[in-house]
Amino acid sequence: MRGSKVIVTGGAGYIGAHAAVSLIQNGFSPIIVDNLSRSSNQLLKGIFEITGHRPEFYELDCRDFDRLKSLLNKLREVYAVIHFAAYKSVSESVAAPELYYDNNLNSLLSVLKVMKESDIKYLIFSSSCTVYGEPDRIPVTEDSPFKRAESPYGATKQMSERILEDAVISRSGLKVVSLRYFNPIGAHPSGLIGELPIGVPSNLVPYITQTAAGKRDKLIIFGDDYDTPDGSCLRDFIHVVDLADAHVKALQNISNISPAFLGINVGTGVPVSVLQLVHEFVSVTGVDLPYEIGPRREGDVIKTYADPTRAKQLLHWEAKRSIREALNDAWNWEKRLSHATN
């Protein structure tokens, strides 16, 4: 398996770039396919700076079946595909649902068709805890029912999983692991790759780091009157490097996994509240973080965190890095970005 070629769609983005680093460090040869619609070559450079290896890169839209097919014809003997490429903004998906259904679903359909024609058997798919909505029981196991998606983005992840379930039935030999990420945060400890939010961040940690860096006036905490220990929402924040490593483990174990389609939670199993995270950030960095309590944000899940037992049993993976490490790494990345723009 060492040296095996792995197509990484969306590998110029936040999670894909971290996964490319982990793949290289574990002896795989990632080949990145990305149309740079939501990224640039900045993280590609970072991958090289960290690993000393420059992965092959193809600027290509996954929906472009003909170009994807001719790339695969040229490459030959590809072991697996990790499909990160998608749009991921909940609010944008509400404003422009057709954009999300088109990109997220047609990319997946095109990738599946090319995999069939090129006889590639293994696919790791980027799914999300958003498929569960507000769970009835926490921690959330993979058998929890999917609630009606709160957003078109969430719907694309649910529909993608349905497409994949049907694909393994129709194509014998195809195996799919759908990794359901909880809340990825942080950056590579080198400070050379991290998240590059477009516009005003809607996710908590980039908003925190931008506020601490003086780019935003203050953080608004969306509600402190929920039925939780401190009144703010509960999440399972996972260091992006731990998440990246889960993809390596999935590749290493996919041939032994059954059934042919399987959803696997990728989280720490430890609930952390929004207020707790804010206090940890201040404690780790020593930086002042102006914040105030605001109204609840519509559509927010109140409490969710993973039961990561299946990942431990089948992938031999568990999260190793702490919230404090993740926040420290996120802050170092933000300082580097702020320094570069000043």
- CA atoms lying within 13 Å on the CB side of residue 130: 23
**Residue 174, CA distances (Å) to 81, 160, 190, 204 in order:** 12, 15, 37, 37
Q: Is 46 in the site for ligand NAD (CB under 6 A)?
A: no
Q: Is 57 in the site for ligand NAD (CB under 6 A)?
A: no
**Binds ligand NAD by CB under 6 A, chosen from 22, 118, 128, 151:** 128
What type of residue is 205? V
Candidates 79, 122, 153, 207; catalytic one: 153
Q: Nearest Cα to 264, choosing from 181, 185, 145?
A: 181
**Residue 153 or residue 281: which is nearer to ligand NAD going by CB?**
153
**Binds ligand WQD by CB under 6 A, chosen from 121, 175, 235, 303:** 235
Q: Is 83 in the site for ligand WQD (CB under 6 A)?
A: no
Lay out the site mask for ligand WQD across 137-176 (x = CB under 6 A, - = otherwise). ----------------------------------------
Q: Is 223 left (phi over 0), alpha (psi -120 to 50) or beta?
A: left
Q: Pick the stretch among 37-45, 131-139, 144-152, 274-282 that binds ligand NAD (CB under 6 A).
A: 37-45
SS3 243: helix
Pairwise CA distance, residues 342 & 337, whole Å:
9
**Residue 57 or residue 237: which is nearer to ligand WQD going by CB?**
237
Q: What is the DSSP letter of 215?
A: S
**CA angle, 114 then 165 then 100, to 5°:** 65
User: By CB under 6 A, what part of segment 182-201 binds ligand WQD?
Assistant: 183
Q: What is the DSSP letter of 2?
A: T
Q: Nearest Cα to 291, choosing from 304, 311, 277?
A: 277
Beta carbon of residue 223, minimum distance to ligand WQD (angstroms, whole number):
7
Residue 153 annotated in active site: yes
**Binds ligand WQD by CB under 6 A, chosen from 63, 83, 88, 310:** 88
Enumerate binding residues for ligand NAD (CB under 6 A): 9-10, 12-16, 34-39, 61-63, 84-88, 103, 107, 126, 128, 181, 184
Catalytic residues: 153
